[in-house]
Structure 1
Amino acid sequence: MKTTILSLLALATALSVNAQDKWSVDKSHTSVNFSVSHLVITDIDGQFKRYEGSVVSPSSDFVGATVNFSVDVNSINTNNEGRDKHLMGDDFFNAEKFPKMVFKSVSFVKKNGNKYALTGDLTIRDITKRVTFDVNYGGTVKDAYGNTKAGFKATTVIDRIEYGLKWNALIETGGATVGKEVTITVNIELSKEK
């Protein structure tokens, strides 16, 4: 009897340890975007075309999930080839020396309703800073092929100067050509691994 109880406890413990859902990024339904002010009068938008990401969640509502995400800096696209080359150079990302931006989460907590806070370490140019994304959880559904999908929109604002993206030039009114604050928005669709 004692052996049976111990066996059941061991099985229950093993199941609870392994009861984590693994998710991968659905690249055809995900985008990594950014926006920064230009000449203080407008915003310039861009995106990164290549990225990798995974999520491991201990619960169906994603509370406590672990998020890892990396972006290939060389895939930057602002619809201007000259600007993209400048952004990949040493004035900004230095993509040759630092080809990846990396985010590793430390917490994923529910605030209220479908609103979450995702906090983690963001590394750009080998400089790591703690950031928090405001996350809107769109929900989880089965697609037409029986795959389980989950959708999120995550937004944060960083100071690019803190990451060594320091280039700037002053305009005649004294303002900066490129703003310090960069808004990052990730629209992400995850696929549950089977």
Structure 2
Amino acid sequence: MKKISTFIAAAMLFVASSVTAQTKWNVDASHSNVKFSVSHLVISEVEGSFTKFNGSIDAPAADFNNAKVEFTVDVNSINTDNEGRDKHLKSDDFFNAEKFPQMTFKSTSFKKGKGNNYVMEGDLTIRDVTKKVKFDVAYGGSVVDPWGNTKAGFKTTTKISRKAYGLMWNKMTEAGGAVVGDEVTIILKLEFGKAK
């Protein structure tokens, strides 16, 4: 009887440890995108993207609550469909990609809200400036693909001040409006694969 009780206790401990075990997820860049938009001449918006990036999630639970997120973006991969503008954005007027080739984000909090909505907070570093940022996160769910890989999808959005990160360049129109707006909307649509 004692052996049976010991076996049951060991089995329960194994199940509990399996449930609470940390799960690693890596971004699937081929099915993800990192985009941004900013106002131009007050009357319209210019959109762009970064084509090279990497990220991971360490999740202590199946619902991703309290997960740890890290993300890195290659600044030199910026693309706004205009070669001259991309070159200007890489210059010291904006990102100074030569000196600061990466943007990084490390989460400090990932909390589940209503339904599939989460709030993620963390440290975003652009150039040599690090500031706290809050992201709204929508969890699209998880699924096993035809090749047996477990995937999870997220849409993440936030708004930041570019000037707060030292991206200061601007000029004024004749009417007094800024050529480039200060507020930048960031939208990430990300698919992660569960590490095997």
Q: Is 1:114 equivalent to 2:107 in the alignment?
A: no
**What displacement does 1:146 show?**
1.2
- TM-score, normalised on structure 2? 0.92
Picking from 27, 46, 49, the partner of 2:48 is 46
Give the unaligned 5+ runs of structure 2.
none
Picking from 55, 58, 67, the partner of 2:57 is 55
Q: Is 1:145 equivalent to 2:147 in the alignment?
A: yes
Name the CA distance, whole Å, in 2 between partners of 1:67 and 1:113. 20
Q: Which 4+ stretches in 1 moved above 3 angstroms?
A: 11-18
**What displacement does 1:16 show?**
5.9
Picking from 74, 77, 97, the partner of 1:75 is 77
Give the structure 1 partner of residue 105 of structure 2. 103
RMSD, matched Cα:
2.0
Identical columns (%)? 61
Aligned length: 190
Give the unaligned 5+ runs of structure 1.
none
Give the structure 1 partner of residue 128 of structure 2. 126
- TM-score, normalised on structure 1? 0.93
Q: Deviations over 1:61-97 (max 9, x none)?
A: 1001000000000000000000000000000000000
Q: Deviations over 1:17-66 (max 9, x none)?
A: 97111000001100000000000000000000101111100011100100
1:112 counterpart SS class: coil
Give the structure 1 partner of residue 184 of structure 2. 182
Alpha carbons of 1:145 and 1:13: their partners in 2 closer, same or farther (altered >3 Å)?
closer
Task: Name which of structure 1's ranges 151-160 and 17-26 shifts more when overlaid on structure 2.
Answer: 17-26
Alpha carbons of 1:168 and 1:149: their partners in 2 closer, same or farther (altered >3 Å)?
same
1:188 counterpart SS class: strand
